[in-house]
Each structure stands twice: as C-alpha cells, then as structure tokens.
C-alpha cells in the first residue's frame, strides 16, 4: 500500500466529510459522559503516544470515541467491524477533519474488509479495540509477529467476548482483554435499549412495515432479544420468543410473551429477528414452513444466524426489491424477504445504537483503555471484567448528566448490610 494511502486511510468519498462532521457533532451533544472523559484526557494525556488499532462500527458515536482517545494522546487508526455498518460520511470526516486514519467503506467486499483490518494492524498496535474479535483473530492467525508489542485489548460485543474466552481456554490468547460488553453500564443499556430500538428502526427503514398487528418472532431472549421484543410489543406487534435456555424462556413467558420452538413459530411469523450469537438458527425446515412474504432479519453480530446458503438452494429466483431487501422466490411460488444480507440490520439499514447509550459503552471503552495503559503489565493473557470502579463511575456520571440524584446509604444501613448478625 502506498504510504499516502496508509496515512489517510481508505474511505468511499472524501467529499462527504462536511456532512459527517456535523453529524459527529450532533452525536457529541448526546454523549456527555464521554465528553467529560475527553476533557480530562485532553488535560492529563494518559494515553500519550500509545498506538491503538480500533475495529469498530464506523458511526458518529465511534468517531467521538476515536477523538476522545486521540485527545488523550493516543495514536489511533480505525477500521470497520462489519462490511455494511460504515457511515461513509463519518469515515471521510475522521480522515479529513480529525486526521484519524480510517479504513472503511460501506458495502466493501470480503477482500477489502480484511485488507482494511490488515491496514489497521500495520499500525503495530499496543492496544487493540475490537467489536467481534477480528483484530485479535487476525493477529493470532496471520500476524503473530505483532504480539510482543501489544499490551492489551478491549472487546465491545457478546460474540467477541465468547470467542476470546474460548481462545483463553485453549491457551492461545496472548494478551489481556477487557470485556467491555460485560460491564453493567454496557449490556444493560446498549444491548437492550440500543439494539432493541435500532433493530426495529432498521427493519422499518428497510421495509416501511407497520408493526401493529404483525406476528414478530424474536429468536434469542438475551440482552438484545429482550430489548427487541419489548420494543416490538410496544409498537403493537404480537411477539413470539424462541429460546434454547430454559431460564430465559421462562423469563420471556413471565414477561408476557408466547414461547415455542421455531419450527412452530415459523408457520405464524410475519417478521423473524435473530439475536442469538449462534449459527443457522433459521434454517431449511423453517424456510419451508414460512408464510408467503415472510421477512427475515438478523441483529446478532455475524451474518451466520440465518442460513442464507440454504435459502439460495431452496430459491428459484432472487432479486433486490428495495434497498436492503432481497426477495427469494421458492419453488412453490412463496416469497421470503431477507433484510440487509443477513447482517446486523440496525447498522446496515439504520444508524446503529443511539448516541445516548453509546455514551456509556464508549465511556467504558475509554476508561478501560486508560486502565490497560496503567495496569496491563500486571495482567495475564485472560479475559477480564471492566473494573467495578469504572462501571460505577460511568453510571454515576450518566445520572449526573441526566440531572438525577439518588439516595445514599446511611452509616447505620452500611453496617447492617455488611453484618451477618444484625436483623435477627
Ligand atoms: N446489533 C447490534 O448492534 C448488537 C449489539 C450488541 C450485541 N449484538 C450481538 O447480538 C448477539 C446477542 O447478544 P446478547 O448480548 O443478547 O447475547 P446473550 O447471550 O445475552 O443472548 C443470546 C440468547 O440467544 C439464545 N440462543 C442461542 N442459540 C439459540 C437458538 N438456536 N435459538 C434460540 N435462542 C438461542 C441464548 O440462549 C441466549 O439467551 C451477539 O451476537 C452480540 O454480539 C449485536
């Protein structure tokens, strides 16, 4: 790659920068916690000279995180964590206005997607910041020479944390990772309210369907599934949950949803949404049972939740009918509509999570990076939780920014709660 390209990144159209700049500013005003951290970072420069490669969804919110890290002294480069999630205007502005090399083009093919990851790794990171563990996986499989320089990394999403835990278990993880996803101030809000709202937003933007009266099948009642189900119900849909975990299935029942196997739900559903982090959740037997004009979408991390290879085999024709809507015609004439090529629909057809929740997730990210810079030398190559102190700080600052105060324990209550002998 010529040096100029390496310095400037690789974006769709630098001419989009002006639009990206104002949209980044729009998000900034909804991210007060991150802005407080940015202000402190600008003064204290805790990340001075630290090389960070970040593989995240390139959105307005991510831009604000990258700017915060840069203002903390870090030398940041960014690449996309999904071929369809990049906002091209934001990528252009990051390069032009913020001088943050960014390698991301919406709709990039697989080869370009991985070449962008390689470009981000050419930065020789001391810290990796992943959303789905692609940087760590690429270092492990193709760029092992980079390991000695890396002090640590962070991981943004459930699927990435699962992958990294499995690497740690197999003894192949070579440096400590902070599981940002597992912070309470991340998954309680981002996965539930962020994915919940933006998944419905993506489906509506792609299809213009009316949710009221629809039979909506949500596969997976985890953090994201709870949010999607809650918001679909709020719009008047009849929501059916499918699960493999008995406790979560029970929770869905007590939250007022019908729960049944997908083979059964397949006959009733108008819209199917997968949020499991698992593969081939919607497969041949389900496509065979679906009604004409069933709509299928995924909001889980990878595009493997809907078995598209199998749908291709079942179909006799395929065409694009709207942006992000592919129509598959089956042999018996039924049509099945797949949204956003089975990639996370909230980022493919909408804008991902609103800035208000990303404020907390990215505050956790920024503070976790600071923690790694201070403490990585004392950590082992394992997956670590976000320190409780960071989680509490982010919650406290977010409440403060909302103008909400809460009660505090009295000394007597603290003693009572810490004691095993009182209250008998
Ligand atoms: N779209 C986004 O912006 C976004 C945001 C956050 C997380 N994610 C991704 O969404 C996925 C889910 O995340 P989460 O935090 O809700 O995870 P989670 O572990 O809390 O929930 C996943 C649920 O799916 C269930 N499940 C697994 N296999 C299933 C199957 N075959 N059928 C039905 N249910 C099944 C599990 O039992 C679990 O309850 C992950 O891939 C995560 O990385 C996406």
pLDDT digits (tens, 9 = 90+) for 33-52: 999 999 999 999 999 999 99
Q: How far is the CA of 183 from the centre of ligand 1 (A)?
A: 16
Q: What is residue 4's predicted lDDT score, i.e. its pLDDT?
A: 38
Percent of the chain with pLDDT strictly greater than 70 = 98
Q: What is residue 5's predicted lDDT score, i.e. its pLDDT?
A: 46
Buried-state track 11-25, b at ≥16 Cβ within 10 A, e below 16: bbeeebbeebbebbe
C-alpha distances (whole Å) from 85 to each of 250, 293, 307, 343 are 33, 26, 20, 9
Which ligand 1 atom minimizes the distance to the CA of 278? 28
C-alpha distances (whole Å) from 408 to each of 157, 197, 379, 394, 396 are 32, 32, 33, 17, 12
pLDDT over threshold 50, residue 10: yes
Q: What is residue 423's predicted lDDT score, i.e. its pLDDT?
A: 73
Q: What is residue 421's predicted lDDT score, i.e. its pLDDT?
A: 85
* Cβ neighbours of 385 (radius 10 Å): 14
Ligand 1: residues with CB < 6 A are 157-159, 187, 191, 195, 219-225, 242-245, 248, 275-278, 281, 299-301, 344, 346, 352
| Confidence band for 82, pLDDT divided at 50, 70 and 90 | very high
| Confidence band for 141, pLDDT divided at 50, 70 and 90 | very high
- In this prediction, residues 143-156 reach a mean pLDDT of 97
Q: How far is the CA of 51 from the centre of ligand 1 (A)?
A: 31
Quickly tell me which residue has 């499995």 as its tokens.
Answer: 166
Cα(314)–Cα(288) distance, rounded to whole angstroms? 9
- In this prediction, residues 407-411 reach a mean pLDDT of 97
Q: Would you say the C-alpha torsion 263, 264, 269, 275 has a positive or negative sign?
A: negative
pLDDT over threshold 70, residue 18: yes
Q: For 317-380, give the DSSP string.
A: EEEEEETTEEEEEETTS-EEEEEGGGS-HHHHTS--S-HHHHHHHHHHHHHHHHHHHHHGGG--
Q: How far is the CA of 100 from the centre of ligand 1 (A)?
A: 32
Q: How far is the CA of 196 from the centre of ligand 1 (A)?
A: 12
341 within 8 A of 202, measured Cβ to Cβ? no
DSSP conformational letter for 351: -
Cα(360)–Cα(34) distance, rounded to whole angstroms? 7
With H, G, I as helix, E, B as strand and everything else as coil, classify residue 226.
helix
List, for residues 91-126, the tens digit of each pLDDT value.
999 999 999 999 999 999 999 999 999 999 999 999
Q: How far is the CA of 168 from the centre of ligand 1 (A)?
A: 21
Which ligand 1 atom minimizes the distance to the CA of 199? 1
Cα(185)–Cα(357) distance, rounded to whole angstroms? 9
pLDDT over threshold 50, residue 3: no
State phi, psi for 220 to the nearest 5 degrees. 105, 120
Of the CA atoms within 13 Å of residue 140, those in its CB half-sphere come to: 17
| Alpha-carbon torsion angle 340, 341, 343, 346, nearest 10 | 10
- Mean pLDDT score of the chain: 96
Q: Which of these, 140, 130, 191, 189, lies nearest to 160 by C-alpha position?
A: 130
Radius of gyration of the chain (CA): 22
78 within 8 A of 66, measured Cβ to Cβ? yes
pLDDT over threshold 90, residue 8: no
List, for residues 211-268, the tens digit of each pLDDT value.
999 999 999 999 999 999 999 999 999 999 999 999 999 999 999 999 999 999 999 9
| Confidence band for 7, pLDDT divided at 50, 70 and 90 | low
Nearest CA to ligand 1 atom 5: 191
Q: What is residue 240's predicted lDDT score, i.e. its pLDDT?
A: 98
With H, G, I as helix, E, B as strand and everything else as coil, classify residue 243.
coil
Which ligand 1 atom minimizes the distance to the CA of 160? 43
Q: What is residue 2's predicted lDDT score, i.e. its pLDDT?
A: 40
């Amino acid at each position: 790659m010529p040096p100029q390209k390496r310095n400037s990144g690789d974006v769709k159209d630098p001419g989009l920068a002006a639009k990206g700049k104002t949209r980044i500013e729009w998000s900034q005003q909804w991210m007060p916690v991150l802005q407080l951290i940015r202000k402190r970072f600008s003064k204290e420069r805790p990340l001075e000279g630290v090389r960070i490669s970040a593989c995240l969804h390139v959105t307005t919110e991510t831009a604000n995180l990258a700017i915060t890290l840069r203002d903390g002294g870090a030398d940041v480069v960014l690449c996309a964590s999904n071929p369809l999630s990049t906002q091209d205007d934001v990528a252009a502005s990051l390069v032009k206005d913020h001088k943050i090399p960014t390698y991301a083009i919406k709709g990039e093919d697989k080869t370009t997607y991985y070449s962008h990851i390689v470009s981000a790794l050419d930065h020789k990171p001391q810290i990796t910041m992943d959303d789905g563990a692609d940087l760590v996986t690429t270092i492990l499989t193709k760029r092992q020479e980079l390991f000695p320089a890396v002090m640590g990394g962070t991981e943004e999403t459930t699927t990435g944390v699962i992958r990294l835990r499995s690497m740690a278990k197999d003894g192949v993880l070579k440096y400590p990772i902070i599981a940002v996803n597992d912070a309470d101030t991340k998954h309680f809000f981002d996965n539930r309210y962020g994915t919940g709202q933006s998944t419905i937003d993506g489906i509506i933007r792609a299809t213009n369907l009316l949710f009221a009266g629809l039979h909506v099948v949500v596969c997976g009642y985890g953090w994201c599934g709870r949010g999607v189900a809650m918001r679909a119900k709020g719009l008047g849909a009849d929501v059916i949950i499918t699960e493999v975990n008995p406790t979560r299935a029970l929770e869905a029942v007590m939250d007022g949803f019908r729960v049944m196997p997908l083979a059964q739900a397949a006959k009733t559903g108008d819209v199917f949404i997968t949020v499991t982090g698992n593969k081939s959740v919607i497969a041949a037997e389900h496509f065979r049972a679906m009604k004409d004009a069933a709509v299928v979408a995924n909001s889980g991390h990878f595009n493997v939740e809907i078995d598209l290879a199998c749908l291709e085999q079942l179909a006799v024709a395929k065409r694009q009918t709207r942006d992000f809507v592919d129509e598959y015609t089956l042999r018996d004439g039924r049509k099945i509509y797949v949204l956003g090529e089975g990639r996370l629909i909230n980022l493919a057809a909408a804008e991902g999570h609103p800035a208000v929740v990303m404020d907390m997730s990215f505050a956790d990210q920024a503070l976790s990076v600071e923690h790694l810079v201070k403490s990585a030398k004392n950590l082992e190559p394992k997956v670590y939780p976000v320190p409780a102190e960071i989680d509490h700080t982010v919650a406290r600052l977010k409440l403060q920014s909302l103008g909400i105060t809460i009660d505090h324990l009295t000394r007597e209550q603290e003693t009572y709660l810490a004691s095993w002998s009182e209250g008998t």
